[in-house]
Amino acid sequence: MKTVVAIDSLKGSLSSLEAGEAIKSGILKAWSDADVKVCPLADGGEGTVEALTMGMGGELVKIFVTGPMKERAVCVYGYIQKSNTAVIEVAQSAGINLVPDSEKNPLKASSYGVGENIKKAVQRGARNFIIGLGGSVTNDCGTGMLEALGYKFLDSGGNLVEGNGRNLSKISDIDDSDKIKELDECVFEIACDVTNPLCGKNGASYVFGFQKGADDKTVKILDDGCRHFAQCVKKKYGIDNENMPGAGAAGGLGYCFSVFFKSKMKSGIDIVIKEIKLEDEIKNADYVVTGEGRLDFQTSMGKAPSGVTALAKKYGALVIGIAGCATDDALKCNDMGMDAFFAILQKPMTLEEAMCKKNAEKNIKNTSEQIFRLIKAVSEK
């Protein structure tokens, strides 16, 4: 009996690997001779660096970068030497969780640290990049990132303009004469499941700006700035990607990568499944265990567990979902092919208690054990 465990992280509690190993421990307690393979999983957001780096046989590299509000930030990226590939999460250096709510300000926030991360990876030898766009606190169209990579932005008087949300409307020209030359040798895969354009009511500023600290007035300033910057880019390079699906991801970083880099936008889970060779593991699996912190209707709409479920069903495996909690509309997960799902809480407890790593590991292990005790008993009948 072969089981593949490919579960996303339980955010704020367990990483993908920690959750997977706890599930494996529970399965083996119920079925000691079971063949269990744990594959770290992510969909382009939190945990992508760890999942891809482990799955691709790379190493984690710790660096210091400039955070979104110019503070010093610790950043970890993955480097796979055999393919000269770097795996980077935008959230590590420009993430919404790096800034307290009281200090969030998308007019000031900069993606400069993302550029520093790319630059250091290039210096290490990386020429292929996988970039996860989720969880940014910036709305600067990637101008901060570009600034760190040698681009200069000038106002109508020829003065240098710092890359941030407030200054987008001041940019009159773009000077790329000092950009890092190695960028021309680099190829970027962009992990993104957002389809928003750059500007307008469905764009980066109006849809995501409020959670980054913007009010109504600020959102309009940001949206006008994004539109102005796109016009400058069109004038300079003749590229009009303002309405491209995904341009509005990560405060316009999706747009930036599409214009200034050799890049291709892909589904985050599709990239992870391909790079960790998950299909090879699932081909001969009898059971596949997947899940995330909370199963709900959004899970069935392209998130990591839905990608795993689709792949498992391709090969006829039984799919079991495990999550910290499940909402009423999580029944949509059954419709997409998940055979059954289970929430791991076994007694009443506070959210803080439930998210405690020790409790979460115990709960997920115990739930997995009971699920596979039942499976074993039925199979031996």
| Residue 166 sits in the same domain as residue 249 | yes
| Residue 196 sits in the same domain as residue 319 | no
Question: Which pLDDT belongs to residue 232?
Answer: 97
Q: Of 239, 269, 299, which residue is a domain's last?
A: 269
CATH of the domain at 74: 3.90.1510.10
| Residue 144 sits in the same domain as residue 262 | yes
| Residue 167 sits in the same domain as residue 102 | yes
Question: Which pLDDT belongs to residue 381?
Answer: 78
Question: Which pLDDT belongs to residue 300?
Answer: 74
What are the C-alpha distances in Å from 241 to residues 129, 152, 176, 219, 255? 21, 21, 19, 21, 7
Question: Which pLDDT belongs to residue 4?
Answer: 97
Tell me the residue range of the domain where 322 lies.
Answer: 2-41+277-379
Closest-CA residue to 258 (of 206, 197, 303, 203): 197
Q: Of 250, 269, 288, which residue is a domain's last?
A: 269
Residue 66: beta bridge partners? 72
Question: Which pLDDT belongs to residue 76?
Answer: 96
**Sequence-ordered strand ranges (E) for 233-329:** 262-266, 287-295, 318-326
- Residue 152 CA to residue 148 CA, distance in Å, equals 9
| Residue 32 sits in the same domain as residue 71 | no
Q: What percentage of the chain exceeds 90 in pLDDT?
A: 81
Structural domain tally of the chain? 2
- Residue 171 CA to residue 160 CA, distance in Å, equals 9
Q: What angle do CA 50, 54, 59 make, to 5 degrees?
A: 85
Residue segments in the chain with a per-residue pLDDT below the cut of 50: none
- Residue 96 CA to residue 291 CA, distance in Å, equals 24
Q: Of 269, 296, 331, which residue is a domain's last?
A: 269
Q: What percentage of the chain exceeds 70 in pLDDT?
A: 100
Question: Which pLDDT belongs to residue 1?
Answer: 87
Question: Which pLDDT belongs to residue 162?
Answer: 96
- Residue 42 CA to residue 50 CA, distance in Å, equals 9
208-251 pLDDT, tens digit each? 999 999 999 999 999 999 999 999 999 999 999 999 999 999 99
